[in-house]
Amino acid sequence: MGYGCFLPQPDAWMLVTVSIALITFLPKLRWRLVALATLSAIVLQPGVPYSLVAVVFGLLLFWCARRWPQSWFGKRPVAMLLAGFTLTIVASSAVPRTSALFTPAWVVVDIFAKYVWFIAYALTDRSASPQADLPLEAGAFQPFWGSTGVPFPKGAAYLRRIEARDADQLAVTQLKGVKLLAWALLLMVFERLWMFFFHTYLHIPLASAALDMSVRRTPYPWYVCWESQVLSFFEFLLQLSIFGHQFIAGCRVAGFNALRNTCRPLSSTTIIDFFNRFYFYFKELLVEFFFYPAFFRYFRKHRRLRVVVATFAAATFGNMFYHFTRDYWMIPVYGTVNACLNFQVFAFYCVVLGAALSISQIRRRSTPRSGFFQGRLLPASGVVLFYCLLDVFGSTQRNYPLSEHFRFLGHLFGINV
Amino acid sequence: MENKLAIRQFIERLLAQKGDRQPFRDSDSLILSGRLQSVDAVEVVVFLEEQWSIDFTQIGFDHNQIDSVDAILALIESVGASK
């Protein structure tokens, strides 16, 4: 999958099973066992020393932020962390390919990229209630139940708030975890059947293939492109649901009652509601590190402007920052200038998303429309159509310029330039 | 008592906007349980800023502070805000 997933490795199943069994029977040692299992999972992965250095570095920053809260770093640790990460990428991109420092520089960026958002959550935990300490934070860095670059589910302080307090809560949470895992497995089977039926049996091209043909000036008929685009949207939802459910199921079985990552997105009747429901922990990341800082800092006397600026800070700037730094490898491969130019399509996607989310928030109705057709079906269809069309620009493959994506969009409506 | 009533009415209205008409107790978690989202938390923040002049840039913001009616009341009392 192209989301930078860190699912437990197949050979780590024994570790995951034993850890969950121990956590179940020794709930008082839950946090120590989570930390131990997470560190063991790191040891089982390739590049062990680098990952351990990243964990130690993250914990050191957390300790510094708590030790010196009034220092320059202690006051705005996340901003400093992200600025440091950006500077590391900029410095690495300045190293010539022929230099002996080229590979080590990008290895540092690679490790940093894998842990940066986990460290960011740890830094926000420095003043959280209940307070997390170093072993707790270590357990939340790429936890053993799996994660993407986005922490599932947030940091250690959040985990403390949602952990099962007694045997009854643990049983309920674990059962919810097992149920979610079963649902993920069902979705996985359904996805395979879906792919076989639509793409192998009916020969409907993948959206990427439809775009490729449009670029070669031999496009598929417009209705085939619509089919590809709509299927691609639902396939993305399925993939997101499957891996998100797997992570959260593991987290729940370990005794933490985390919310689902994807929860009935097709029932959303507004653009903001869909954004909230389809990739919850990514949205939470954007809200925590980009929306709230902007919201509490700027235009506090202008209610609407404040919301719009904060939304653009999160959905546009934050989204771009996350994806550009996640795909940092494009810089050494294509060069800095080309990597930035190739990002134009996704940048456009983020701008439109920011604008749509802003409008959606401002237009929130005080009383939702009643009736199934007017209140549910019509708005939900509109939301799906919007995201389906926006998905034309949502590609992070970055193969083609923006003009080609517009050409494809025009072709969907029978406009051929 | 007056504060609690105002908070409850506001939360009820916020939940109703989302089609959630389930009852809730003063101690019930609203954000951690998923009944209110980050976007709704923003509405709560604006409500507290406007009604009780609470300045979150001074006291810092944490979802825990506004996770339940009781938590919001405690926050209002802790900062000594008045309507």
Higher pLDDT residue, A17 or A81?
A81
Say which of B17, B34, B38 has its CB closest to residue A364. B17
Higher pLDDT residue, A13 or A316?
A316
Residue where the block lists tokens 């159509």 = A385
Complex confidence, ipTM:
0.89
Q: What is the pLDDT of residue A314?
A: 96
Closest approach of A365 to chain B, Cα-based (Å): 7
CATH number of this structure's domain B2-78, picked from the four choices 1.10.1200.10, 1.10.540.10, 2.30.42.10, 3.40.50.720: 1.10.1200.10
Query: A217: pLDDT confidence band, cut at 50, 70 and 90?
Result: very high
Residue where the block lists tokens 């005794």 = A255
Suggest the residue from B38, B50, B62, B63 to mutate for an interface test with chain A (most A CBs closer than 10 A).
Answer: B38
Q: What is the tens place of the pLDDT at every residue in B11-47? A: 999 998 888 888 899 999 999 888 998 888 999 999 9
**A298 pLDDT higher than 50:** yes
Structure tokens at A340: 């930035």
Closest approach of A13 to chain B, Cα-based (Å): 30
Q: Do A292 and B61 touch (CB under 8 A)?
A: yes
Q: Do B32 and A272 touch (CB under 8 A)?
A: no
B34 inside 8 A of chain A by CB = yes
Q: Mean pLDDT over residues A291-318, rounded?
A: 93
Query: A131: pLDDT confidence band, cut at 50, 70 and 90?
Result: low
Q: What is the pLDDT of residue A7?
A: 55
Q: Do A284 and B38 touch (CB under 8 A)?
A: yes
Q: Do B56 and A365 touch (CB under 8 A)?
A: no
**A316 pLDDT higher than 80:** yes
Least confident stretch, A8-22, A102-116, A340-354, B69-83:
A8-22
Q: Which residue of A has its CA nearest to B31?
A: A259
Query: A135: pLDDT confidence band, cut at 50, 70 and 90?
Result: confident
Query: A375: pLDDT confidence band, cut at 50, 70 and 90?
Result: confident
**A9 pLDDT higher than 80:** no
Say which of A276, A300, A303 has its CB closest to residue B39. A276
Q: Which residues of A touch B37 (CB under 8 A)?
A: 276
Q: What is the pLDDT of residue A282?
A: 96
Q: Which residues of B touch A295 (CB under 8 A)?
A: 42, 45
Query: A367: pLDDT confidence band, cut at 50, 70 and 90?
Result: low
Higher pLDDT residue, A374 or A206?
A206
Please give the Cα distance from A375 to A304 (Å, whole number). 25
**A301 pLDDT higher than 90:** no
Dihedral (CA of A330, A334, A335, A337) sign: negative
Q: Which residues of B touch A127 (CB under 8 A)?
A: 60, 62
Q: What is the pLDDT of residue A150?
A: 93
Structure tokens at A35: 């930390």
3-state secondary structure chain A: CCCCCECCCHHHHHHHHHHHHHHHHCHHHHHHHHHHHHHHHHHHCCCHHHHHHHHHHHHHHHHHHHHCCCCHHHHCHHHHHHHHHHHHHHHHHCCCCCCCCHHHHHHHHHHHHHHHHHHHHHHHHHHCCCCCCHHHHHHHCCCCCCECCCCCCCCHHHHHHHECCCHHHHHHHHHHHHHHHHHHHHHHHHHHHHHHHHHHHCCCCCHHHHHHHHHCCCCCCHHHHHHHHHHHHHHHHHHHHHHHHHHHHHHHHCCECCCCCCCCHHHCCCHHHHHHHHCHHHHHHHHHHHHHHHHHHCCCCCHHHHHHHHHHHHHHHHHHHHHHHHCCCHHHHHCHHHHHHHCHHHHHHHHHHHHHHHHHHHCCCCCCCCCHHHHHHHHHHHHHHHHHHHHHHCCCCCCCCHHHHHHHHHHHCCCCC
Q: Mean pLDDT over residues A221-233, rounded?
A: 95
Q: What values do phi and psi take at A410, rounded to 5?
A: -60, -40
How much is the mean pLDDT over chain A?
A: 89
B20 inside 8 A of chain A by CB = no
**A172 pLDDT higher than 50:** yes
B42 inside 8 A of chain A by CB = yes
Domain-by-domain residue ranges, chain A? 10-163, 170-412
Q: What is the pLDDT of residue A362?
A: 86
Q: Mean pLDDT over residues A377-397, rounded?
A: 90
Closest Cα to residue A122, out of A63, A79, A72, A40? A63
Cα A175–Cα A176–Cα A178 angle in degrees, nearest 5: 65
B23 inside 8 A of chain A by CB = no
Q: Mean pLDDT over residues A228-245, rounded?
A: 94
**A1 pLDDT higher than 60:** no
Closest approach of B1 to chain A, Cα-based (Å): 25
**A3 pLDDT higher than 50:** no
Q: Which residues of B touch A287 (CB under 8 A)?
A: 38
Number of neighbours of residue A13 by Cβ within 10 angstroms: 10
Q: Mean pLDDT over residues A12-39, rounded?
A: 86
Q: Do A364 and B42 touch (CB under 8 A)?
A: no
Q: Which of A144-158, A240-254, A370-384 tops mean pLDDT?
A: A240-254
Q: What is the pLDDT of residue A13?
A: 76
Q: Are A345 and A401 in contact (CB under 8 A)?
A: yes
Percent of chain A with pLDDT over 70: 95
**A276 pLDDT higher than 80:** yes
Dihedral (CA of B73, A367, A265, A287) sign: negative
Q: Mean pLDDT over residues A407-411, rounded?
A: 94
